[in-house]
Copies of this chain bind each other. A is one copy, B any other.
Amino acid sequence: MAKQKYIDKSKRELILLVSSKVFAKQGFHDSKISQIAKLAGIGTGTVYLYFETKENILKELMVQIWTAVANEIEFVAKDMNISSVDKVYECARRIILLASHRKETAKMVLQEFAYWNDPDFAPLTRTIQKTKDLLRFIIENGIENNEINNRINPEYAVPFLIGGVWHLIEYVVQTPKYNLENVIEQAKIIVTNAFQIH
């Protein structure tokens, strides 16, 4: 029965998992806590043992995925020994992979992100800022090392890069049949061309 389905996960994780699916499918405002509880095989009230509010579930999911993104980028920035341009591409590749592995959460984030990008919610703002700072760090470093085109302005290049990857993911998430390798290959071409010195 439903209650057994996720027995190996903690109840908290279970709620997050189910919520990401429901939010992705219906959007935050049309998702009902009672429905999430039913799908999770638990009581409505039980949800409130693990989360203070419905909003908090969403916020935690956002932080979760952005933290994963930040971690990937941090690893690329600090621990990989490749050219700066390759680092930029590697970041793009890892974000695309991450999203393709967690399509529901990715879809949800894409849907709800702008709405919930609340400057007062520090944990999220901080993580996103970290992501941007790391990307900026990579690019600035590349420019210093003559690996990245010095006409690139990191302040604007970072949002362009994030937005480009973001929508590539949106496309991937919405398209049932897509070729992940091609998507990544294309990201490589665009990023490389855009950033390298010709």
Contact = CB atoms under 8 A, between A and B. Distances in A.
A121 interface: no
Interface string A172-196: 0000000000110011011101111
Given A149-B189, A153-B186, A160-B187, A167 B166 contact: yes
A195 B191 CA distance: 10
Contact of A168 (B149, B156, B168): B156
Q: Categorize the interface residue count of chain A.
A: 35 or more
Interface in A103-153: 110-115, 149, 151-153
A113 B182 CA distance: 26
Contacts of A161: 164
Given A111-B114, A194-B193, A194-B194, A153 B182 contact: yes
Contact of A159 (B29, B167, B195): B167
A189 B153 CA distance: 9
A156 B167 CA distance: 9
A27 B149 CA distance: 39
A56 to B, nearest CB: 17
Contacts of A162: 167
A165 B168 contact: no
A167 B164 CA distance: 8
B156 A160 contact: no
B171 A165 contact: no
A43 interface: no
Interface of A: 27, 29, 110-115, 149, 151-153, 156-157, 159-168, 170-171, 182-183, 186-187, 189-191, 193-196, 198
Which 3 pairs from chain A and chain B are nearest by CB? A163-B167, A164-B164, A194-B194
